[in-house]
Amino acid sequence: MRIGMLGMGAVLIAGAAQGAVYFYDLDGGDQAAFDAAVAGLMYHGSTTFDAAPDWGIAGMDAPVDTNTNNGFITPGMIQAGLVIQNNINPWGFPDANNGGGINTLVAVGASGGFGNPSNSLLANYFVDAFDIIDDYAGVVAIEIDALTLLGSDVVDLSLYDDGGNQTNQWMGLSAPAAGHRYGIVVDGGDSIGRLNVYDSFGGAEGVMNITTWQVPAPGALALLGLAGLAGRRRR
């Protein structure tokens, strides 16, 4: 089922401009509803680390983006417009200006022995949060495969708009080492500027995969069905 307009455990942030925000637990039965919600959107890109050799476990400097070439992440592995970093503030509040640095991310492969089935990118320090920043205007839907290691197996997701305003939070979401997929769609003229992942119990939180969709450009509507189906990552 789709978990309401805001979602299970959702917090609506007072004072922030609000369009409709839809939250989906994709591994909890919401996949079909999410697929229907993004069917009218244009696939923007996917970030997956499966194509790389097993990472084992190693620290990584932040931020990383589509141009990163550090021996683990190669150019183009992270979709254009996406920036990934740690954030020293809980829930990434109030902004994204408190991230980056030497070894502030950690690359963990399946061989690391923590239970994640594939390469995962996480915040390296247990007090940090994990930022997914979208610098591409018009992104209105996102899917992530979230996990946390050595923590509580739950995370909080905090959504920020393009203006940097925190608009929504979803608290206490399942995020075991095996990963758990969630989707968010915003409507009403808003767009996604940043999504923060945070284990408030001190784990190393992050993602295995990220996929985004955008508002279609004029003239592209006739191609949406084909683009969405062809671009969507197969599972």
pTM across the whole model? 0.86
pLDDT in tens, 164-222: 999 999 999 999 999 999 999 999 888 999 999 999 999 999 999 999 999 987 655 44
Q: Which domain holds residue 166?
A: 10-231
Neighbouring CB atoms inside 10 A of 10's CB total 17
Residue 220 forms part of a structural domain:
yes
pLDDT tens sequence across 48-87: 999 899 999 999 999 999 999 999 999 999 999 999 999 9
pLDDT class of 153 with cuts at 50, 70, 90: very high
Q: How many domains does the chain have?
A: 1
In a domain, residue 3? The reply is no
In a domain, 4, yes or no: no
DSSP E strand boundaries for 69-137? 82-87, 101-108, 120-123, 129-134
